[in-house]
Amino acid sequence: MKADYVIVGAGSAGCAMAYRLSEAGKSVLVIEHGGTDVGPLIQMPGALSYPMNMSLYDWGYKSQPEPHLDNRELVTPRGKVVGGSSSINGMVYVRGHAGDYNHWAESGAQGWSYADVLPYFKRMETWDSRGQGGDADWRGTDGPLHVTRGPRDNPLHDAFVSAGAQAGYPVTEDYNGEQQEGFGPMEMTVYKGQRWSAANAYLRPALKRDNCEMIRGFARKVVITEGRATGVEIERGGKVEVIEAEIEVILAASSINSPKLLMLSGIGPAEQLAEHGIEVVADRPGVGKNLQDHLEFYFQYACKQPITLFKYWNLLGKAWVGAQWFFSKTGLGASNQFESAAFIRSDKGVDYPDIQYHFLPIAVRYDGQAAAEGHGFQAHVGPMRSESRGEITLASADPKEAPKIFFNYMSTEQDWIDFRKCVRLTREVFAQEAMTPFVKHEIQPGDALQSDAEIDGFIREHAESAYHPCGTCKMGALEDPMAVVDPECRVIGVEGLRVADSSIFPRITNGNLNGPSIMTGEKAADHILGRRLPASNAEPWFNKNWQESQR
């Protein structure tokens, strides 16, 4: 078993690279431990809370006890299935803000500024605004990834956006276009009523080519001979074997599993590797460090009118929604229901948005538990750029053992300041006239919680991960001791080995990470093939009064 390129992980970035490398005539082998993504629970957008909570599709990781969140162990879902996390995520599509990528370039990831990455976002997508307006010039027209908008026919969606405008915030037609800042429609990776994962968009077309193959196996480590990656040791059917790479091995196994595999292969902090009896191939202290995530909470309100999705939150309602989707790929099952969004700045002096909202016309948790109040709605809200940093470390030298995941959430004073702002700014939005016909009362946090101490207590108990881990194999300049890969995604200190997934992000981007992860695969494929799309000269929008005003 050998190929020019061996890719570990059929996730968001891995599928994109398999598609582009095989398209260029290279032979590609993709190693995936998870099983098939065929079946209604994954393919039906409205069923998104199921696969995320199923051991069949999820690695089942949990964080270490988080000291600043009452020592809670937070679930950390990662897709263990064809398509990776793009097969179990919420399908929300956000490119990230221009400022995010400019920061990457300034911090040592040269060639990854917004001007450099925008052409890849355009290449990868086919955008359909459903006639709802938007920035066609900024969007792609013939890429593998279909991006659409929900029908937004529930009156709560308009009310939410109008309330934002009444509170003095901009309205944006397309947060993935020129202007991210403001309230407007949310976008999703759904096509013809079906989840449009990286597997559907990229891997299935790639596997139709003679030069691309996927094998099912559990990756144990990268085989490194005389300083060069030559293959991947895998276990399948109870046997350990090596898949050989003629040119390169590429890790795209997630921000949790890519650093784990590097460390098992002898690449990482030398002291830690020695503790586990692993021979050091390259002492890279940054492997597993720089772990970041978005933390959020659900701001829930009871609704005065019986117009929310709660009316389908019973056996008969779910059966009806499921049947309609199964036979026609239409109806409520054809949307993730995240159809309105907002990106705002928390304060003056913040140059681009640092708070995100997902709006949902039902009060429900990710694990599928509906609020006891019945009819309600919610906004997921959280800060975008926490300074807190965690780490991934090995629990042992046994590849089968899950790594230790420590996010170190809420470890800076600024985190608490930012979350209090989220609570107070959100209350202000929902107090606007546009929401008056719908707001009955605040379910959570609840009106009683007003002081800093009360809000802090609520956050400690109720903040949840938005499931956006990244940063654990940081991309940076060769002279940066904490960089793991160079701006070409090559692992520093080892030949023939790259990492390309959300683990290489120097800093977390605004919003959901599936779009940036796929873009990383697209752009990494071009680096591997020795080519580049010309940079864009489009000028993204920044609020010209950002130094003086919050909105």
**The one catalytic residue among 103, 441, 468, 527:** 468
Domain 151-184+295-383+411-462 has CATH 3.40.50.300: no
- Going by pLDDT thresholds of 50, 70 and 90, the confidence category of residue 131 is confident
Lowest model confidence (mean pLDDT) among 94-103, 130-139, 254-263, 458-467: 130-139
- For the chain, the average pLDDT equals 97
- First vs last C-alpha separation in the chain: 58
CATH topology for 1-58+77-146+186-284+469-534 is FAD/NAD(P)-binding domain (3.50.50)
Tens-digit pLDDT profile for residues 276-331: 999 999 999 999 999 999 999 999 999 999 999 999 999 999 999 999 999 999 99
- Domains of the chain, residue spans: 1-58+77-146+186-284+469-534, 151-184+295-383+411-462
Tens-digit pLDDT profile for residues 164-206: 999 999 999 999 999 999 999 999 999 999 999 999 999 999 9
pLDDT value of position 369: 75
CA–chain centroid gap for 78, Å, is: 10
Contact 383, 419 (CB under 8 A): yes
Report residue 62 as tokens. 């949990």
**3-state class (DSSP) for residue 176:** coil
Give percent above pLDDT 70 in the chain.
Answer: 100
Tens-digit pLDDT profile for residues 394-416: 999 999 999 999 999 999 999 99
Q: Do domains 1-58+77-146+186-284+469-534 and 151-184+295-383+411-462 have the same CATH topology?
A: no
pLDDT value of position 364: 86
- How far is 309 from 377, CA to CA, in rounded Å? 9
Q: Is the pLDDT of residue 208 over 90?
A: yes
pLDDT value of position 223: 98
Residue 541: exposure state from Cβ atoms within 10 A (0-12, 13-18, ≥19): middle
pLDDT value of position 371: 76
The HSE-up count of residue 214 (CA atoms within 13 Å, CB side) is 25
Lowest model confidence (mean pLDDT) among 248-257, 345-354, 366-375: 366-375
**3-state class (DSSP) for residue 341:** strand
Tens-digit pLDDT profile for residues 47-106: 998 998 899 999 999 999 999 999 999 999 999 999 999 999 999 999 999 999 999 999
**Considering only CA atoms, which of 209, 186, 166, 152 is closest in space to residue 25?**
209
Tens-digit pLDDT profile for residues 224-257: 999 999 999 999 999 999 999 999 999 999 999 9
In the predicted model, what is the mean pLDDT of residues 19-39? 97
Sign of the four-CA dihedral 508, 511, 514, 519: negative
The one-character DSSP state at 171 is B
pLDDT value of position 540: 97
**Considering only CA atoms, which of 422, 377, 485 is closest in space to residue 111?**
485
pTM of the model as a whole? 0.98
- How far is 462 from 178, CA to CA, in rounded Å? 34
- How far is 244 from 232, CA to CA, in rounded Å? 7
- 468 catalytically annotated: yes
Give the number of other CB atoms < 10 A from CB of residue 216: 16
- Going by pLDDT thresholds of 50, 70 and 90, the confidence category of residue 461 is very high
- How far is 35 from 56, CA to CA, in rounded Å? 8
- How far is 62 from 515, CA to CA, in rounded Å? 24
Give percent above pLDDT 90 in the chain.
Answer: 96
